[in-house]
Amino acid sequence: MIKFPNASDFPQALLMTKNSKNKRAFWCIEAISGQHVLSAMLNVPESALTAAEFGRICKALVNEVDTLERALMKD
């Protein structure tokens, strides 16, 4: 889980760039229990979401989280 006390602490330019390249899901920042948490939102109609497509999206999101965590650790 990637979370910060302030929404402005997120790498906003990186998240916006990633959002522009992915049409199936996008990153958003949610306020949960006093923290700002990075969440992935799916942008696929439920009727079009097959098990195989959901699996592909999940694998891609895991890779994205790994990339984001590495980028955050560099800072």
Q: Across residues 47-63, what is the average pLDDT?
A: 89
Q: Which residues contact 64 (CB under 8 A, 6 or more apart)?
A: 18, 22, 27, 40
| CB-based contact 11:72 (threshold 8 Å) | yes
Are residues 23 and 41 in contact, defined by beta-carbon separation less than 8 angstroms? Answer: no
CA distances for 15 relative to 37, 54, 57, 63, 64, angstroms: 13, 21, 17, 14, 10
Confidence of residue 42 (pLDDT cuts 50, 70, 90): confident
pTM over 0.75: no
What is the model's pLDDT at position 6? Answer: 87
